[in-house]
């Protein structure tokens, strides 16, 4: 059986399988029903590993073991595999979420917080910085900054970025508003994102930022997260940002933003036909 390496690589990423698993699975798909020995020969996977691989594939919902001698394995329809894998992932995610939720009242979290608190004592505020790669990591960090905000949040984004951030950041922004945090959002507003802008206006003061393209957030005049790439030109996986904790530069940037903010149009002046 000859299967292109590129195809095997795609299957590995899609189904989260290792190389031996994807080789044995595609070998079984090509036969329908087969023994471990036959699959070892077809897939070029060592016989000593084949049974372990088949057991792993069975647990993950890719194949079924047929009783009898010799033991044979049956391939499932790819559509059925997708459904089984989806269900298994959902169950696994729910179980992991429950375990993590239970840590809130566990001694483990207390010990971790003690370690962190002791460690932070020796860290200068300016050293609390780093780079973030991938849009999901950037959004996770934005969400963390919002959850930690005590006084102010200033968010500047692009037209498309405003649409993306609604689902990701809205729950934390709603909680921040209830805590009394002042929230301001600036972005280019057009007919494609006007509805989203109005949704954001329930928790923040939002204004139209025409002629300026930038992506950053300032929290409490202390923390800044800059997105360095043009979101229209970069793949989400390669999006890049820099996070810094600086009581010196953050207020200065916020003052510069204030000058532009005063010249921006409130959302109430933007027509839906724009």
pLDDT of residue 45: 92
Give the mean pLDDT of 26-48. 92
Backbone angles phi, psi at 189, to 5 degrees: -105, 130
Tell me the pLDDT tens digit for each residue of 66-115.
877 888 999 989 999 999 888 888 888 898 888 888 887 788 777 777 77
What residues are paired with 65 via a beta bridge? Answer: 73
> What residue ranges define each of the domains in the chain, with the CATH number in brackets?
5-78 (1.10.10.10), 125-269 (3.30.870.10)
- Please tell me the distance from the alpha carbon of residue 266 to that of residue 272, in angstroms, as a whole number: 13
Nearest one of 159, 123, 149 to 223, comparing CA atoms: 149
- Of 60 and 112, the structure prediction assigns the larger pLDDT to 60
What's the token pair of residue 146?
Answer: 């919002």
> How large a percentage of the chain has pLDDT more than 70?
92
How many angstroms separate the Cα of 20 from the Cα of each of 12, 63, 244? 10, 15, 43
- Of 120 and 224, the structure prediction assigns the larger pLDDT to 224
- Please tell me the distance from the alpha carbon of residue 63 to that of residue 32, in angstroms, as a whole number: 10
Tell me the pLDDT tens digit for each residue of 142-151.
999 999 999 9
What residues are paired with 206 via a beta bridge? Answer: 185
pTM (predicted TM-score): 0.63
Peptide bond into 70 cis (omega under 30): yes
């Amino acid at each position: 059986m000859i299967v292109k390496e590129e195809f095997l690589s795609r299957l590995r990423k899609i189904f989260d399988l290792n190389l031996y698993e994807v080789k044995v699975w595609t070998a079984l798909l090509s036969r329908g029903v087969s023994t471990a020995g036959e699959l070892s020969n077809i897939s070029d996977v060592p016989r000593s590993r084949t049974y372990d691989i088949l057991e792993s594939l069975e647990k993950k919902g890719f194949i079924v073991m047929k009783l009898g001698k010799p033991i044979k394995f049956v391939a499932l329809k790819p559509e059925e595999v997708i459904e089984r894998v989806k269900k298994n992932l959902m169950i696994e995610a729910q179980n992991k979420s429950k375990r993590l939720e239970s840590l809130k009242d566990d001694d483990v979290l207390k010990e971790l917080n003690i370690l962190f608190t002791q460690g932070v004592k020796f860290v200068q505020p300016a050293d609390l910085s780093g780079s973030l790669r991938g849009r999901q990591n950037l959004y996770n960090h934005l969400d963390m900054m919002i959850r930690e905000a005590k006084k102010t949040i200033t968010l500047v984004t692009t037209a498309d970025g405003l649409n993306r951030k609604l689902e990701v950041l809205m729950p934390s922004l709603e909680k921040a508003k209830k805590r009394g945090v002042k929230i301001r959002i600036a972005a280019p507003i057009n007919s494609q994102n006007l509805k989203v802008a109005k949704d954001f206006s329930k928790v923040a003061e939002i204004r139209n930022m025409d002629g300026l393209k930038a992506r950053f957030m300032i929290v409490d005049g202390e923390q800044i997260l800059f997105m360095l790439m043009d979101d229209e030109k970069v793949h989400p996986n390669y999006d890049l940002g820099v996070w810094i904790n600086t009581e010196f530069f953050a207020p200065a940037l916020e003052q510069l933003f204030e000058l532009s903010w005063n010249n921006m149009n409130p959302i109430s002046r933007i027509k839906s036909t724009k």
